[in-house]
Structure 1
């Protein structure tokens, strides 16, 4: 059973971090002192849940966290600095600081070191997240140990942390667009979204999907096709109408 450490000071540990061609000692006190910091810990870089959900969700919501008083977001794992750097690059997680707890010293001092020998991982960090203010742990979300689930992911996610910090925070809109190269209406659609500072995921015909996939998913034969928060909006004119409706 992992112990909740709310109200306690984070352990003082030196992390070995590779910066450029040199090694640098990074003290945990420097990471947390005088700041409001979110740290989320996970079992390993490049693993399915960590890569598919944990890191992307914190990176996506990072601007919202920053708007709500968070200074830094740290991803910590018992991996070396080379692995963590490569993983951050692969994840394109520019809003997050990746910290290697290579020897597991921080995780052990937190009481969050888990035995993963059955997977060939050795000792790894348990999955949790915490909000730290000026070095003091204000809130922890620790995944519950489950005999049937080796790596639970229920409460340490970004949305749970954001709901704790500000349940009324304005969350980003999920937007996906089916497009093709050279399509003027697709360009118009993307310009409209950019003009409203709305980020979107673009899927390009012939690169990310086929015409058959377009028909199957959207029930349409033309592009662009816009989806917002799971709702099929349609083409550029439909998106214009959606924006007009939002004004009213």
Structure 2
């Protein structure tokens, strides 16, 4: 599992742009900026949709005022679902929505989980990371079924 002091692993994310789906390398995404990256088990799922993403949307200004350049949400969903969820949650200009459709990046972080018992396949655990120029400064991984340490409010205390 990724830990404080580690460099973020190589890999790619997908985002929908005006030109369609675009791959973004993790190296380019994290280079030269401070990023809060948080992961949800799934777009439109109960806690993710009612609390996790909305908290970061609501607190985006406060987080960015602490020197964060980018807030990003990653999930093991396709880029079209992530775009639709972002639109539904008014994330524009506040939270970037990153798709990790096959869980490749989430697995590289060592933060994947087996959600086949819920019919969801492999997913990402609920977590948040503070990353500065590609180096991990904070790691917050939730215990199963909890929503505390990966929240926007908790991340704010770490900045």
TM-score bin (small chain): over 0.9
Unmatched tracts of structure 2, length 5 or more? none
Residue 93 of structure 1: CA displacement? 1.7
Aligned to 2:99: 100
User: By percentage of residues, which structure has more strand?
Assistant: 2
Say whether residues 1:38 and 2:32 are aligned partners.
no
Match in the other structure for 1:159: 153
Q: For residues 2 and 109 of structure 2, what CA distance do their matches in structure 1 show?
A: 9
CA separation in 1, counterparts of 2:147 and 2:64? 23
TM-score (normalizing by structure 2): 0.95
Determine if contact 2:71/2:96 at 8 Å carries over to the other structure. yes
Cα distance in 2 between the residues matched to 1:164 and 1:4: 18
4+ aligned runs moved over 4 Å, structure 1: none
Residues 125-144 of structure 1 aligned to structure 2 (within 5 Å): 125-144=124-143
Mean alpha-carbon deviation: is it higher for 11-20 or for 133-142? 11-20
Structure with bigger gyration radius: 1
TM (normalized to structure 1)?
A: 0.62
46, 49, 61: which is aligned to 1:51? 49
Query: For residue 182 of structure 1, what is the aligned residue in structure 2?
Result: none
Deviations 1:159-197, CA, capped at 9 Å, x for gaps: 1110111xxxxxxxxxxxxxxxxxxxxxxxxxxxxxxxx
Number of matched pairs:
158
CA distance in 2, matches of 1:38, 1:129: 7
Cα distance change, pair 164–16 in 1 and its aligned pair in 2 (3 A): closer
Higher relative contact order (CA 8 A, sep 6+): 2
RMSD, matched Cα: 1.1
Contact 1:4–1:142, Cα closer than 8 Å, also in 2: no
Flag structure 1 segments of 5+ consecutive residues without an equivalent: 146-150, 166-248
